[in-house]
Amino acid sequence: MKDKVVIITGGNSGIGKALAFEFGSKGSKIVITGRNLEALQTTENELKAQNIEVLSIQADVTQIADNQRMTAEALKHFGKIDILINNAGISMRAFFEEVDVEVIKQVMDINFFGAIYATKSCLPSIIAQKGSVIGISSIAGYRGLPARVGYSASKFALQGFLESLRSEMIDKGVHVLTACPYYTTSNIRFRSLTKDGSLQNDSPRDEKSMMSAEECARQIYNATVKRKKILVLAFMGKLTVLLNKLFPSFMDKMVLNFIKKEGKTK
């Protein structure tokens, strides 16, 4: 990955930030994007302190023009794009019968259409470099979760897009990776949307018991180097995918009970 130019959307926190450090520590040139300018600048300074070459761009993945500007600035600064990591994402926590449909739309705009816009913009350079398109999905892209209807739908859609793109890119020599973390320490649960679109501001889970963002980033890096197609993380993640294929009715009840342990859904 030395001297590869890697764009990471949502690269100012959580898994995205960990990916910036992981790829950067291996000699990659990093572009991070996000909406929060202060967080971007803080992350940029931290990366530079580790002698990682980095460009930060304030951009909103839901805006086509911002994705086009992101691509143009990356090409102007580094001259190429080798890898795009579609990491920007948001979650939600509300049952479908109670949630405002605008919340689901917001989740889809970021998690799915954000990846569509960024990939469309970066793809010509990635094809020229025979590089990689990576999507950070979730186990929720294999198994729909109660009270996460918008989140699961967005991840199912993302995985369908990546699978289709993978087939289209075979003759182009472009690598497409679908990475599916299990529960990982990040800000996504704290920034999860509730039924009316307000922020949850707390986590319903024990964050200390989860895979670290750094370990998640390390495994995604290794999968990129090996040009793997699918990466399902953690034993429980692999078990969930397997059981859902074999015993879907059992899993319907199991995941509902699992989510109920989080307490009252807002």
Q: Which helix (H) or strand (E) holds 33?
A: strand 29-34
3-state helix, strand, coil in the chain (%, to 5): 50, 15, 35
Tokens of 145: 């979760």
- pLDDT value of position 207: 53
Q: What is the mean predicted confidence (pLDDT) over 118-126?
A: 98
* pLDDT of 188 strictly over 70: no
**The CATH number, out of the four listed (3.40.50.720, 1.20.59.10, 3.40.50.1860, 3.30.428.10), of the domain defined by the range 5-260:** 3.40.50.720
**Residue 151 designated active-site:** yes
Beta carbons within 8 Å of 37's beta carbon, 6+ residues apart: 58
In one-letter notation, the amino acid at residue 108 is M
Q: How far is Cα 81 from Cα 122, in angstroms, rounded to an integer?
A: 7
What residue spans of 109-231 are helical by DSSP H? 114-129, 149-168, 213-225
Beta carbons within 8 Å of 105's beta carbon, 6+ residues apart: none
In one-letter notation, the amino acid at residue 113 is F
* pLDDT of 191 strictly over 80: no
Closest CA to 193 of 87, 101, 56, 60: 101
- pLDDT value of position 266: 43
Domains of the chain, residue spans: 5-260
- pLDDT value of position 206: 55
Cβ proximity of 177 and 192 under 8 Å? no
- SS3 at position 74: helix
Could you report the per-residue pLDDT of 125-167, keeping only the tens digit for each?
A: 999 999 999 999 999 999 999 999 999 999 999 999 999 999 9
Q: In percent, how much of the chain has pLDDT > 90?
A: 84
Q: Which residue has the tokens 């449909």?
A: 101
- Choice between 74 and 208, residue whose per-residue pLDDT is larger: 74
The DSSP code for 130 is T
* pLDDT of 86 strictly over 70: yes
* pLDDT of 36 strictly over 70: yes
Q: What is the mean predicted confidence (pLDDT) over 219-248?
A: 95
Cβ proximity of 231 and 179 under 8 Å? yes
* pLDDT of 20 strictly over 60: yes
The DSSP code for 229 is S
* pLDDT of 227 strictly over 50: yes
Cβ proximity of 8 and 33 under 8 Å? yes
- SS3 at position 44: helix
Q: What is the mean predicted confidence (pLDDT) over 31-46?
A: 97
Tokens of 67: 């994705």
Beta carbons within 8 Å of 158's beta carbon, 6+ residues apart: 86, 111, 112, 115, 135, 137, 141, 178
Among 151, 182, 183, 221, the one annotated catalytic: 151
Greatest C-alpha distance within the chain: 53
